[in-house]
Structure 1
């Protein structure tokens, strides 16, 4: 006799309370193994795959691709036991209560999954790349029937006694902003869990009861702008929030300088001609940055606004901007100050590839103390970067192109690059920022300057 178990969206760690379904990896009727990834979700930190702790036949999926779910909401149900092969899926009752609650060993398995996600590095995330997903065999089966949204109740639910079954802080905030008493809301989730859709429905119902029917008037032109609307959520939403906070909280200023990078390009060519692993230009710029930060530690810091203190950080964890199909991300190279040019090249390559494959973990995206932004790869000369909150500065590097330049008293064609530094004016004055940028430019023009600190 098969037992139908429900698998809920587990706690993803890092304080994350919700995730968006990006892609289902299984369909109703598929046979899944224990710990097989069943869905790809995007959080505010990264896009990851979620494994299911049960093995059996998928009998239902909850939520279409693009749907946001809170932690603890049902993801899918699996019939376990008596499923010797890929036969027809057990009958599934329609409606919100289609799946049975996990009990006994099933509940223990789900608890184990939640604990697995409690650290900074999400265990099991990003382990199967696109090639592995393409090799996954999927059986033909009818599309999942999502749980229907509950229809408006003719009368308000009776006032609830005791604790209110709400998991997501987002749901609580939504109700609080709308002046809604959650004790009077009937949840459509398992065991009466109040979901975001329940709160939005209750607010809409209350609004309909408060507002009188409008009198017939001539149709007015719509004030909403026409065009495609793209939700700011997931990684894109997190980036938008961080940039807005940076502009709101940080009094930033920008200075820039042109530098002759001819000698730096020649030094890189000589390194790569000597054999061994190739050294990237980004790695050389990173080496210059960490040495400059050792001379000007004010820029490797953060501001504790509550304590009104500047916190100078002992280690350099260097972030770098990387463009991906799903938006801009900033992976972080940990302990950049202790790495060689070869080690930096290898780590930049690893993180860049993980970003392209949407396989970065939250640990890869957090903890930065200074950011290097090589926007020259987009073919532009200069920019005024926005500081990656809560850091104190960002160095921008434009494209390196031949330009007329006075070299040793004569006009010559040289490889010129524009460097820009945006800094938090609370941590230092223009003299410190200018000194940092001038030192970086000197190292670009004469890489031998670094030999003094090697």
Structure 2
């Protein structure tokens, strides 16, 4: 006998409590394998696929694309072929967002209903009964009477049941029953449009709309209550602050509230750094990016000024310094600003940093970053020069203590060796948490970075 198992949105980790459904990867009636991705969701940190721990037939999906679900909310129900053993009931044990132990099958099979539902019976996108006859009906579920006045007598899909005056009320899911209960709707007065009179969400919504029309006054009341939520007026476009954009807004707002930041900046002659990079890439081997060289300079500067590689524990009123550098870098994507993190940047050379920057940038572009790729940073490098600007006073990436900003590198008049010359000049800025250090430390850090940019040989002391 088949058993229907409910798969809920798993714990996403990293403090995430909800996710938005971006795209369903399976339909009701599809056969799924263990660890097959069934839905693509967007959290506040990344876009990930959620794998299902059960193998069987999808009998229902919960939530439409674009809706948000909290952790622990039902995602799908799956009818497995036999009651699972203890190990099978636990699934694969690998239901972590973005991970699984097997690839999705190359082809999905759909179990089609033995008898199509009536032409006037349509289920809502998020609530559809399973058509497989192999799915057993729970005890207490009787065949109802459809809109044509008779039942088929065959087993129906698993359904939540209430009690009519003359027997059980077949309802497709507890969600539909709750919808009716919250709106004071008596299910015994409805005739379901699903197979064998099954009451679908569409039936409940139709009844609620009909009741609203009947209760609507002939003329509008003279005084209208204010709207519960703002409505876009003429010439306005309102965009919900959710997903990545919402997470960025919350984090930046918190940074501004909690961190007393200050910014210092300096112009530097980057001509020698650009020449050094050209010489490195001309020598053969993997190309080295300018961002990797700037990252290498950052880690060397943090070794000299560790006060900036820190965070503030407000509850304990302590400054926490780190003995490792997890270097974040700002990346603009179609989904908004993200800050991927290069782990142990202090232990990487220029080639390794270049490769890791390239991997994380591509993952950001495709929306494949995992929560682990976006958390745990201790210092951020912000190359806003790619936008064609010279300087900025960025907001610190909470809970870090500092951020180095790099503007565009452009030819400018510069006094070089006592003479006016055209040199490649860049503006560097450091925004720092004034609680972790004073201006002298921040200035010393920024001056060391500028010295390394102007004379890359200074880095030889730290190699």
* Corresponding pairs, count: 370
1:356 CA displacement? 1.4
Give, in whole Å, the separation in 2 of the partners of 1:414 and 1:373.
23
1:73 CA displacement? 1.7
1:260 CA displacement? 0.9
Give, in whole Å, the separation in 1 of the partners of 2:372 and 2:88.
25
User: What SS class does the counterpart of residue 23 from structure 2 fall into?
Assistant: strand
| Contact 2:53 2:90 (8 Å CA) reproduced | no
Evaluate the alpha carbon distance shift between residue 317 and residue 402 of structure 1 in structure 2; reply closer, same or farther with a 3 A threshold: same
User: What SS class does the counterpart of residue 231 from structure 1 fall into?
Assistant: coil
Higher Rg: 2
1:292 CA displacement? 0.6
Coordinate RMSD, CA, aligned: 3.2
Where structure 1 has 5 or more consecutive residues not aligned to the other structure, the ranges are 83-103, 157-213
Deviates more, 1:402-411 or 1:280-289: 402-411
Match of 2:222 in 1: 216
| Contact 1:27 1:138 (8 Å CA) reproduced | no
1:150 aligns with 2:179: yes
Give, in whole Å, the separation in 1 of the partners of 2:252 and 2:183.
44
Evaluate the alpha carbon distance shift between residue 244 and residue 218 of structure 1 in structure 2; reply closer, same or farther with a 3 A threshold: closer
| Contact 1:41 1:47 (8 Å CA) reproduced | yes
- Note the 1:273-292 alignment, pairs <5 A: 273-292=282-301
1:360 aligns with 2:340: no
- Note the 1:291-302 alignment, pairs <5 A: 291-302=300-311
1:265 CA displacement? 0.5
1:105 aligns with 2:81: no
User: What SS class does the counterpart of residue 5 from structure 2 fall into?
Assistant: strand
Give, in whole Å, the separation in 2 of the partners of 1:254 and 1:409.
30
Evaluate the alpha carbon distance shift between residue 124 and residue 382 of structure 1 in structure 2; reply closer, same or farther with a 3 A threshold: farther
Give, in whole Å, the separation in 2 of the partners of 1:297 and 1:111.
46
Give, in whole Å, the separation in 2 of the partners of 1:436 and 1:33.
54
1:284 CA displacement? 0.2
1:415 aligns with 2:415: no
1:9 CA displacement? 1.6
TM-score, L = length of structure 1: 0.74
1:57 CA displacement? 2.9
Residue of structure 2 aligned with 1:397, choices 385, 406, 410: 406
Match of 1:424 in 2: 433
1:76 CA displacement? 1.6
Give, in whole Å, the separation in 2 of the partners of 1:6 and 1:223.
37
1:328 aligns with 2:304: no
**Deviations, residues 11-35 of structure 1 (Å, cap 9, x unaligned):** 2223332211011111223232221
Where structure 2 has 5 or more consecutive residues not aligned to the other structure, the ranges are 113-121, 128-175, 186-219
**Deviations, residues 30-70 of structure 1 (Å, cap 9, x unaligned):** 23222111100112232110111222332321111111112
1:419 CA displacement? 0.7
User: What SS class does the counterpart of residue 16 from structure 1 fall into?
Assistant: coil
Match of 2:47 in 1: 47
1:346 CA displacement? 0.9
1:296 CA displacement? 0.9
Give, in whole Å, the separation in 1 of the partners of 2:109 and 2:276.
52
- Which structure has more relative contact order (CA 8 Å, sep 6+)? It is 1
